[in-house]
Structure 1
Amino acid sequence: MKTKEFSVDFTRFAWLTASTLISASSFAQVEYHIDLTQPDHHLAQVEVQFPKTASDKLTINLPVWRTGKYQVQPISDGVRNFVAKDNEGNVLSWERTETGEWQVDLSKPTQVTVNYQLYANELGQRTRHISSTHAYLDSSAVFMYSPEYRDEEITVGLSVPKTWKSYSGLEYGDNKHSFVAPNYDVLVDSPIETGISQHRSFSADGRDYELVVWGQGNYDIEQIVTDLKKISGEAERLWDDYPFKRYVYIVHATSGARGATEHLNSTVIQLPRFMFRERKDYLRFISTASHEFVHTWNVKAYRPAPIATYDYQHETVTDLLWLAEGSTSYFQNQLLLSGGIMKPKEFFEDLAKRVNANQKKPGKIVQSVKEASTGKWAARGGDYAHNNSVNIYSEGYMASLALDFSILQQTKLDKSYRDVHRNLYRDYKLPKGYTADDIKAIATKLTGESYDDWWQQHIESPLTIDFDELLAHAGLKVNTGDKQKVDAGMSLDGRHNSLKLGRVQKGGPAWSAGIVFGDEIVAINGLKVTAKGFKKRLEDFKAGDKLEITLFSDDQLKTVTLTLAEQAKDKLKITAVKSPSKQQKAFLEAWLGIDWPFDEEGKFKK
C-alpha cells in the first residue's frame, strides 16, 4: 500500500519547532515507547499509540528497507506477538496483508495502541542491535507507522538500564531518554544509540557536534575529534552553508561488523575494534566519516527525484544512484586532502588503487553507470557481477572524475564539479529532487556547452577513460613499473583451506581454459596444491608456461591446460609528468584545492 505524499523539506525542518509543521486543523501525535531493560537476548518490547481514527481500518507498516541501503530486507521477520487494542483496552482483530503491513479492524472511532516484541541482532546491517551494553535503533527497523499519521509529530520514550545514556540527532524530549520528531520521516533518518559508550561534544564552524563510541578498541578518540573538526570546516569548499545545526557521529568498535550509513543529522560507522590505530586503517575510518558527512548534503539535502519522497514499502528505481553515491566517494578524500588530514601521497595512492581496479574490471565494458543505478535494488556481488557489472560507488567515482575534468577544461578552471553540487543544494533541495536533465542543464549553464553527447558516452554507455590522457591535464601520469608477474586469471574464494575458486576473470587464462567459478583446484602439473601455497606455486612459473590444472568441476574430476599470462607486479602509481607546465599545475590546484605537491624531481614534497 503506497504511503501518502510527504512534501515538507525534512532536511531543514528537523530544527524547526513542531508547531510550525502541524497544520492548524491537526494536532495529532504518535507516541512510541521501547522497553530495553532486559537486553541480553536481543529482545525489546515496543508500544505505539496512534491518534483517534475514524475509518473502519487502520493500516500499520514497518518499512521493508532502510534508507542508505537500496535493497529490500526481511525487517518485519523480527516482529512477534503483535497486539492491537482500542482506547478501552479491547483487543482488535487484524490481518497481515503485505510484507511489512498489518490491517487493524475498527468498529468505531478510537485511538489504537499497538504492542509487539522486537528481535534485534542485525548489527552489521545497521538496522537494529540490542545487547547487554547497548542498543542501536534505526527507526525504519524498529518503529511501525501508519501512512495516515506519517506527517504528525512524534515522541519516543526509552526504558533502559540505569547505567545507559541515550544519544540521537533528534531533539531531546522531557528527559535524556526521550526524543521528539516533527514526523516519521525525520524519525526514520535519525537513529538512536543508547548504552554504555564514550562521548565527546565539540563545536566547529558554528555547528554543534557529538561523537559517541560504543565498544572497546585501539582508537584515539581525541584524534578523531580533531580530524572531524577539520572535515567540518572543509565543507564550505563545496556548499555555501550547512543543512543542520547539530550532528552526531555514532561509531561502533565491533567484533567484525563493518560499514557505514548516512542519516539526516548523523551517521553510524562500524569498524572492527582493532582496526583504528594503523595509518591505513585510520585513513579508512576517517575517509568513511568524510563520506557520510558529504552525504548530509548529497542525498540527505538533495537527491534524485524518484526517491525525493521515500516509499518505505516498495523499491523505487532511479538512474542517478551513481551520482548520489559515486560523487560522495569522489569528494570524501578531497575534504581530507584540503583539510590536511590526508597527505597528497596518500590521496594519489588511493586514486591509483581506484584506477587499477577500474582497469582490471571486465564489467566496465559491459554495463553503464546508468544501468548500474537502475539495477541497484537487484544487484549482488560475486563472479558474475565482477565480470559483467560495475559498482555505483567506484564507477560513479570515475564518472564524477570525468565530469569534473570536463567542466574544468570547458571553463578554463573557472568552474568545476563542485559547482554542480553547489547548484543542486541551492536549487534542488528536498522535496524537489533532480533528474538527469537537470544535471545536464547545470553543466550547460556552467560551461555554455551541451552535455547531451557527453552524457550518452559516459553515463548511458559503458564508461571508457584513458587515464593518461585525462590526468595529463593535471600534470599527472599513470606508472605501472617494470616488474612483471604471472597471471592465471583466477583467485580462491578466501575461505580457510578452501581451494574453490571465488573469481575467474572474464577473458583471462583460466576463463580461456574452461575453468569456471566454483571449481575446486586439486593439483598443478600432477602435484597436490594447498590453499596456503596456491599463489606461491604459481610464482614458480613464467608467463607463457602451460600448466596442467587438475580440478573438480560439479564433482567431476578433470584436467585442463592453462597458459599463464603476464601482469604488472609493481603497484600502479600516479606520478607527476616530467617538466609540468604552469597550466597543468594550475589545473591540479583548481581541481583539488591544494598547491602543487611535487618537487622538481617529481617526488612528493615533505
Structure 2
Amino acid sequence: MIHYEIHPVNPEAHLFEVKLHLDPIEDSSGQKLYMPNWIPGSYMIRDFAKHIQWIKAKTASAEIPLQRLDKSSWLLPQTDEKVVITYHVYAWDLSVRGAHLDQTHGFFNGTCMFLAVNGREDETCSVDISRPSGEAYVHWRLATGLKPVEGTEEFAFGRYQAADYDELIDCPVEMSDFYLISFEACGVPHYMTLTGQHRVDSERLATDLKNICEHHIQFFGEPAPMDRYIFMTYVLGDGFGGLEHRNSTALHCSRKDLPLEADDKDSVKDDYQTFLDLCSHEYFHTWNVKRIKPAEFLPYDTQNESYTELLWAFEGITSYYDNLALAQTETISPDEYLTRLAKTITSVRRSKGRYIQTVTDSSFDAWTKFYKQDENAPNAVVSYYTKGAEVALCLDLLIRQATQWDKSLKDIMRRLWLEYGSVQKGVENDTIKSLVLEEVPQSAHQDMKSFFDTALYSTDSLPTESLLKQVGLELRILPRVERNDRGSFKKVMPENKSLADLGIEYTKKATGVRVKNVYADGAAGKAGISADDQLIALNGLMISADSFDGQIQQVPVGETVSIMAFRRDELMEFEVVLEPAECDTAYITYAENFDDNKTRFNAWLKIHNPGT
C-alpha cells in the first residue's frame, strides 16, 4: 500500500509537511513521481508543483538524490531500502481549487498535496492526517470524503484510505473548529461544515438541503451513489464558488448568503437563493460529471489538458437543473424561479461572444479562453454554463413537445446515469443526441437533428421564446431598466424606452469610473474608449460614480458628448455619439390570460418532477 502522512507543520507560515512512504524501488530505471498540473472540474493548468518549497528522499541509512524531470515530476533512483519522500507545501490559496492554512483552519485538495507514483495510480492509498501541534488547535476536527480506517472516528484526525489515487485526490480535507450541520437524504447521511465567522438558521438550511438532495437522488433513481456526503463551506465577508467531488463539495459563500433565524420564513432572500443554487449545482454534479463523464476524462490525465466539447452538457445541463430543483421542491416560488431563469437568459444575451463562439467551441477552449478571460472576453467568449443551460431548457421543452409530454430531458439524464455513469462508460460527442433520437418519435427526428446542429455548432439564436409559450410564458428581451438589472419575472412588462447607453461595464472610483469592459459595437467602443480607461468628465462636468448612468441618460440618443478620461497617466478626450441601450435583458411573465397560464406553468413544474 502507498502511504502518506500530512501534518500542518507551521500554520503561521502556511506550510503543510507531507511524507510519502514507498517500498524499495526494484526497477533499475527508477520510479517517477509527479504532481498534478490541474484539478478535475476546473479546466486550467495550475502547476500545483510550484507550491512545493523543498523536497528530499531518504532511506533509513542515507539521503537519496531526486532527479528533476520537468516542472512537476521527479525520478527516484533504484534502492533496496524503503524510502520516505518528504516535502513542504506552501498553502495560501484561498479558493475551492487549492490549499490554504493559517491559525483558523486548514483546507486542501489532493491535487495540491499528494505526489502520484507513476504506474501505480490504481493501487490502494492510505494517509495519516494530524492536527497542528499546540493547545490552540485541540478543538479542531477533520472533514473529508475519504474512508476512515478502523480506529479512526468520524470527523477525527487519524488514518484514512482511498481505493486508488483518483479517489485520493477527489476527496478534499477541511480541518478547523467548524460548525457542523447534519441531515439524512434518502437514508444517506449528509453534512455541512461551516468554517469562518457566521450566523445561520441551521434548521432551515438543513431542511432546504435535505429537500434538494432527495430531489436529485430521486431524479437519477435510488440508491444514491455514495454512502455519505459533505458540503465543506468556508464563510467569508465576500466570497462565492464551488468545486464538485465524488462525495463532497468545496464551497465558498458570503455571510449574507446564509439564512438567519430573523429572516421571513415565507420568502427566500436572493442571496440565500444563490447559495442554494450553488449547493444544488455541485450536488447534481455527483452524477453529472463525477460519474457521467466525457470519454476524454476516463481516466483523468492530470498532467495535460483534456479537451472535450461536452462541457455545455456537464455544466450547462447542471446549471439548468440546479435552480429548477429549487422550484420543484417549493424551496423557492415559481415567480422566483422565473426571475432566475430570466437572469440566465440575460447573461447569454449580453455576451457578444455568442455571435463569435459556439457553445462546443467554448467547451473545447475552456483551458485557454473561459478560464483565462481578459477584458475582451464579453466580445469573444460565450459561457458554456449559461448558454448550455438555455440549450438544456430548449431541449427539455422540445422532448416534451415531441412525446406529448410523456418524456423529458430527465429521461435522457437517467439513461446517461444507468448506461454510462454507473458503469463508467465515457460519453461521446453524439451520445446525447443519439439518446434523444431513441426517445422521440421518428417524425421528430429531423427537427431534433436540426436543433442539435443549431444549438451546438452554430451561433444562431435558440428558439427559447417560442418554446416558453408552450408552458404559458412570455419572454421579452428589452433594454435594462437600470445598471444592475439582470432580468426578472414581471407581472407587468417594462416599457421599451429608447435610453442612451455607452456600451460599457465599469467599476466605481473615487473620481469618476474605471472601464471594465467595452462592447466592440457600442458607442464607447466606436469612439475609441478602452478597458482600464478612467472616465472623469462628461461635457465638461465631473463624472459622479453614483449617478453616471443618470448623467448619460439625460442626453438624448444620437447626440454627441465629450468624455475626458485618463489612459494610464495621459489625459484623452473622446467624442461619443450616444446610441440607444441594447435590447439585452430578459423579462418573463405569464402570457395573456395571466391566471390560467400561471396555473399551466405550475403544472409544468410538477410534470417529470421526481418528487411527485
TM-score of Structure 1 vs Structure 2, range by shorter chain: 0.7 to 0.9
Q: Number of matched residues?
A: 565
Q: CA deviation at 1:534?
A: 2.6
The yes-or-no answer on 1:474 pairing with 2:464 is: no
TM-score using structure 2 length = 0.87
Q: Secondary structure at the match of 1:324?
A: helix
State the distance in 1 between where 2:32 and 2:203 align.
47
Q: 1:528: which partner in 2? A: 542
State the distance in 2 between where 1:109 and 1:89 align.
11
The counterpart of 1:509, out of the listed 501, 523, 530, is 523
Q: 1:51: which partner in 2? A: 23
Farther off after superposition, 214-223 or 150-159: 214-223
Q: 1:423: which partner in 2? A: 415
State the distance in 1 between where 2:598 and 2:404 align.
11
State the distance in 1 between where 2:582 and 2:387 align.
22
Q: CA deviation at 1:520?
A: 2.8
The counterpart of 1:233, out of the listed 207, 214, 236, is 214
Q: 2:112: which partner in 1? A: 141
Q: CA deviation at 1:364?
A: 1.0
- Counterpart residue identity of residue 186, structure 2: D
Q: 1:438: which partner in 2? A: 431
CA gap 1:43/1:195 in 2 versus in 1, 3 angstroms: same
The yes-or-no answer on 1:519 pairing with 2:533 is: yes
Q: CA deviation at 1:172?
A: 1.0
Q: 1:93: which partner in 2? A: 65
The yes-or-no answer on 1:286 pairing with 2:258 is: no
Q: 1:203: which partner in 2? A: 184
Q: 1:492: which partner in 2? A: 506
State the distance in 2 between where 1:569 and 1:363 align.
16
- Note the alpha carbon deviations across 1:202-232, whole angstroms, 9 max, x for none: 2121211112111111332222111111012
Q: 5 Å matches for 1:91-240?
A: 91-106=63-78, 108-160=79-131, 161-173=137-149, 174-175=151-152, 176-177=156-157, 178-240=159-221
Q: List, as ranges, runs of 4+ consecutive aligned residues in structure 1 with deviation greater than 6 Å.
A: 568-571, 580-585
Farther off after superposition, 253-262 or 67-76: 253-262
Give 5+ residue unaligned stretches, structure 2: 132-136, 264-268, 479-493
State the distance in 1 between where 2:606 and 2:600 align.
10
8 Å CA contact retained: 1:49, 1:113:
yes
State the distance in 2 between where 1:152 and 1:566 align.
63
Q: Secondary structure at the match of 2:411?
A: helix
- Note the alpha carbon deviations across 1:125-170, whole angstroms, 9 max, x for none: 4311111122112111111111222111111111213221111112
State the distance in 2 between where 1:338 and 1:543 align.
44
8 Å CA contact retained: 1:219, 1:274:
no
The counterpart of 1:307, out of the listed 280, 297, 319, is 297
- Note the alpha carbon deviations across 1:287-316, whole angstroms, 9 max, x for none: 100001100000111111101211111111
Farther off after superposition, 181-190 or 252-261: 252-261
8 Å CA contact retained: 1:37, 1:159:
no
The counterpart of 2:348, out of the listed 358, 382, 387, is 358
State the distance in 2 between where 1:201 and 1:147 align.
38
Q: Secondary structure at the match of 1:465?
A: coil
The counterpart of 2:251, out of the listed 237, 244, 269, is 269
What is the identity percentage for the equivalent residue pairs of Structure 1 and Structure 2? Answer: 27
Q: CA deviation at 1:281?
A: 1.1
Q: CA deviation at 1:584?
A: 9.9
State the distance in 2 between where 1:210 and 1:236 align.
16
8 Å CA contact retained: 2:296, 2:426:
yes
CA gap 1:34/1:315 in 2 versus in 1, 3 angstroms: same
- Counterpart residue identity of residue 139, structure 2: T
Q: CA deviation at 1:539?
A: 3.3
CA gap 1:373/1:201 in 2 versus in 1, 3 angstroms: same
State the distance in 1 between where 2:547 and 2:592 align.
42
State the distance in 2 between where 1:495 and 1:111 align.
60
State the distance in 1 between where 2:93 and 2:241 align.
13
- Note the alpha carbon deviations across 1:214-267, whole angstroms, 9 max, x for none: 111133222211111101221145211221111111111124342111100001
State the distance in 2 between where 1:400 and 1:109 align.
57
8 Å CA contact retained: 2:96, 2:250:
no
8 Å CA contact retained: 1:123, 1:257:
no
The counterpart of 2:357, out of the listed 364, 367, 370, is 367
Q: 5 Å matches for 1:323-342?
A: 323-342=313-332
- Counterpart residue identity of residue 98, structure 2: T
State the distance in 2 between where 1:162 and 1:92 align.
36
- Counterpart residue identity of residue 171, structure 1: K
CA RMSD of aligned residues (A): 2.4
The yes-or-no answer on 1:574 pairing with 2:571 is: no
- Counterpart residue identity of residue 547, structure 1: V
- Note the alpha carbon deviations across 1:324-370, whole angstroms, 9 max, x for none: 11111110011111111111111001111122222222111111000
8 Å CA contact retained: 1:338, 1:594:
no
The counterpart of 2:2, out of the listed 30, 34, 39, is 30
Q: 1:548: which partner in 2? A: 562
Q: CA deviation at 1:180?
A: 1.1
The yes-or-no answer on 1:407 pairing with 2:404 is: no
